[in-house]
């Protein structure tokens, strides 16, 4: 039996053990997958101990940057993200670090028939969550990706780092009010019930699609705002969670599970 798990602090709330158990059942794999609580100052030691017998692990808040530093090899998307959410033990015992967050976001958008090629996309926030999705998003050849952030310098720095992959712009919230095709909320504001200071004119009624990378039982504050402004559609990040897990499962096992029934089951539990 191959052993897997997910590192975090806190971690008891994680849906990853259920998701991967369902993937394993679907693909007839005999695996174990456990939540792994690491002390805030004890992540490297916890990883070392786990991989004595473990085959792979997911990594969530607040350890993704530490996982990036620990990995012996890095995928290109992990190098771009400067964060790792998936670790795999290779045959020589070394650790491969990858980042499946961006693939999870893109796959969920495409599953929902949201066209990305040629579109003007606005991303709210300039933290690790946004950094992790830019490379796969730009690979879809949008017309432009704009990063808007309270600290403009942070947005500008991020845009500079990724501008070789596609057209990028950066600005503050009070600098932008023209309508866009897609708005992605990459801030954690929804977790605290807050809303970034957005101009209503960013949404073209009946046209703009809004996506919150957070999810909850009820419609997130950002998606409530989007609906009030007449957004064509609003989506939350539950599908992204399942899709990034499916990508990690594929990295570990070489098998690509079907995320759709797993997402359906999680959605039913949430509601």
Q: Report whether 106 contacts 134 (CB < 8 A).
A: no
- Kindly give, in sequence order, each residue whose CB lies less than 8 Å from that of residue 118, ignoring residues fewer than 6 positions away: 141, 142, 143
Q: What is the mean pLDDT of residues 102-122?
A: 98
pLDDT class of 189 with cuts at 50, 70, 90: confident
- Numbers of helices and strands, H then E, in the chain: 10, 12
- Cis peptide bond N-terminal to 10, omega within 30: yes
Which entry of 64, 89, 119, 204 is annotated as an active-site residue? 64
pTM over 0.75: yes
Q: Are 46 and 9 contacting, i.e. CB atoms less than 8 angstroms apart? A: no
Instruction: Give residue 109's pLDDT band: very low, low, confident or very high (50, 70, 90).
Output: very high
Question: Is 89 assigned a catalytic role?
Answer: no
State how far the Cα of 267 lies from the Cα of 44, in Å rounded to an integer.
34
Q: What domains sit in the chain, N to C, each tagged with a CATH number?
A: 2-99 (3.40.50.10860), 102-237 (3.40.50.720)
User: CB neighbours (10 Å) of residue 214?
Assistant: 20
Q: pLDDT digit string (tens) for 199-255?
A: 999 999 999 999 999 999 999 999 999 999 999 999 999 999 999 999 999 999 999
Confidence band (pLDDT; 50, 70, 90) for 190?
confident
**What confidence category does residue 13 fall into, taking pLDDT thresholds of 50, 70 and 90?**
very high
Q: What is the CA radius of gyration of the chain?
A: 18
């Amino acid at each position: 039996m191959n052993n897997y798990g997910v590192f975090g602090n806190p971690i008891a709330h994680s849906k990853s053990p259920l998701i991967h158990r369902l993937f394993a059942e679907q693909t007839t794999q005999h695996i174990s997958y456990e939540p792994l609580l690491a002390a805030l100052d004890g992540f490297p030691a916890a990883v070392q101990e786990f991989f004595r017998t473990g085959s792979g692990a997911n990594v969530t808040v607040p350890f993704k940057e530490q996982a990036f530093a620990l990995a012996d090899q890095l995928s290109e998307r992990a190098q771009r993200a400067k964060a790792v959410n998936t670790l795999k033990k290779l045959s020589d015992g070394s650790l491969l670090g990858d980042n499946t967050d961006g693939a999870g976001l893109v796959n969920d958008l495409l599953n929902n028939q949201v066209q990305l090629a040629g579109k003007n996309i606005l991303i709210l926030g300039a933290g690790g969550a946004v950094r992790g999705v830019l490379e796969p998003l730009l690979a879809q050849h949008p017309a432009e990706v704009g990063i808007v952030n309270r600290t403009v310098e942070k947005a500008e720095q991020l845009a500079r780092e990724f501008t070789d992959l596609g057209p990028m712009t950066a600005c503050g919230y009070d600098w932008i009010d023209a309508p866009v095709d897609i708005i992605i909320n990459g801030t954690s504001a929804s977790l605290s019930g807050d809303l970034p200071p957005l101009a209503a004119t960013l949404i073209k009624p009946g046209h703009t699609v809004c996506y919150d990378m957070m999810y909850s039982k009820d419609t997130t504050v950002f998606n409530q705002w989007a609906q009030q402004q007449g957004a064509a559609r609003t989506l939350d990040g539950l599908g992204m969670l399942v899709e990034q897990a499916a990508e990690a499962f594929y990295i570990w096992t070489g098998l690509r599970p079907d995320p759709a029934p797993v997402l359906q089951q999680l959605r039913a539990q949430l509601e």
